[in-house]
Structure 1
């Protein structure tokens, strides 16, 4: 699994202008089963995405597709981790076989 920490480098007006395209990008990768959680940080200086079931090189290519990345509006830190414990009632995403 990966935690993708976005830090905005553009002005919030620029972020807002690209937000619809960013949300469509998120939806595409939620539908593909790559993203499992996402949302803005508080205060609103970036966002966090959790991704699963994918190899790092493919994830890097997916992150490069983000409109925020393409417009130079965000910096991305990607942290890989192995989820070994969850709160009751939560399930780990199934590993992808197509990596």
Structure 2
């Protein structure tokens, strides 16, 4: 599993200008079965996505995020070797 933590490097107003294409990109990640959960950080300094797939797929996907393409945010990709999960969350195990 991967934790994709994005941090805005430009003001929220700039992020808002690219939010619609970013959200289309997020929906595509869900459609491909890579994204499991996502949302904004509180306070609003970026966001977090829980993802599965190969590291190469995830890195390629992140590079295509309009927030990256337009220099709005940077990503930190953390791989987690999940070994124990709550009932019903077996999809998170590597």
Using the size of structure 2 for normalisation, the TM-score is: 0.91
Q: Which residue of 1 aligns with 2:20?
A: 20
Distance 1:94 1:11 in 2: 33
Distance 1:24 1:49 in 2: 14
Distance 1:15 1:69 in 2: 11
Cα deviation code 1:49-84 (max 9, x no counterpart): 0111x2112211100010000000101000001222
Q: Which residue of 2 aligns with 1:70?
A: 69
Q: RMSD between aligned alpha carbons? A: 1.5
Unaligned runs of 5+ in 1: none
Which aligned runs of 4 or more in structure 1 are off by greater than 3 angstroms?
Answer: none
Using the size of structure 1 for normalisation, the TM-score is: 0.87
Distance 1:6 1:32 in 2: 20
25 and 78 in structure 1: CA distance in 2 versus 1, 3 angstrom threshold? same
Q: Which residue of 2 aligns with 1:31?
A: 31
Q: Which residue of 2 aligns with 1:86?
A: 85
Unaligned runs of 5+ in 2: none
Aligned residues of 1:40 and 1:46 also touching (Cα < 8 A): yes
- Residues paired across the two proteins, number: 93
Aligned residues of 1:83 and 1:92 also touching (Cα < 8 A): no
Distance 2:74 2:58 in 1: 15
